[in-house]
Amino acid sequence: MKMTEMFSYTACRQLSQMFFAVFFFHMSEYILAIAFHGSQSVTLRSLLISKNYILAMLFSMMEYIVEIVLFPGSKDFWWISNVGLVMVIAGEIIRKSAILTAGRSFTHIIKVCHEEHHELITHGVYGFVRHPSYCGFLIWSVGTQIMLCNPMSTIGFAFVVWHFFAERITYEEYFLKEFFGIRYEEYAQRVPSGVPFVK
């Protein structure tokens, strides 16, 4: 086992990109939540770090370590890694655009009661997809694994994140139809969800 591979240029670059991407994603989510909702209304849940998320990230790190030690050449496909980096950046831009466009109407927890400041947002990035924050996170999360050249985690993240949002969209849109009625139904008919194979 070549442990020196763990300190190679490939590993240092890919892992530093990964750690920065994860740090920036979660800290910016937390800061924006405070900016729009105030520190008293924001908890650590706004960092979007759950038990399942931590387990998924640990698995991806284990896959990376095993593969770079046993098959170091599998991580040297820089065109693949760079595609992942572009996806990470694009996913961040899409998701943060969604948060900034929605403002106070954006929350990390699905609202089951209509609040006064909760508006139906259909302009900006919401004019292209109904759930740009989910679209952005899906692209970002899969991109992190492509960036690491992790084949198993790429497939796993794509399936798990897609399945999570497919269920969440169905649940969330039930309440959006309750809140906004025909306006939301017409909006949903003309604008795609933003998550593949989810109407």
132-184 tens-digit pLDDT? 999 999 999 999 999 999 999 999 999 999 999 999 999 999 999 999 999 99
More reliable by pLDDT, 161 or 38: 161
More reliable by pLDDT, 50 or 193: 193
Indicate the pLDDT class of residue 4, thresholds 50, 70 and 90: low
pLDDT at 3 over 60: no
H helices of the chain, in order, are 9-37, 51-70, 78-102, 132-147, 151-180, 182-190
What amino acid is encoded at 183 in this protein? Answer: R
pLDDT at 5 over 70: no
Residue 125 has a CB neighbour count (10 Å cut-off) of 22
Indicate the pLDDT class of residue 112, thresholds 50, 70 and 90: confident
Instruction: Note the pLDDT of residue 79.
Output: 95
Domain count, the chain: 1
pLDDT at 91 over 80: yes
Decide if 195 is inside a domain: no
Decide if 145 is inside a domain: yes
Q: Which class for 123: exposed (0-12), middle (13-18), buried (19 or more C-beta within 10 A)? A: exposed
**Distance in angstroms (rounded) separating the CA atoms of residues 158 and 117:** 33
| Cα end-to-end distance, the chain, whole Å | 48
Domain containing residue 131:
1-190
* Cβ-contact 105, 119 below 8 angstroms: yes
**Distance in angstroms (rounded) separating the CA atoms of residues 93 and 32:** 14
**Distance in angstroms (rounded) separating the CA atoms of residues 160 and 180:** 30
Q: Say which CATH number the domain at 55 has.
A: 1.20.120.1630
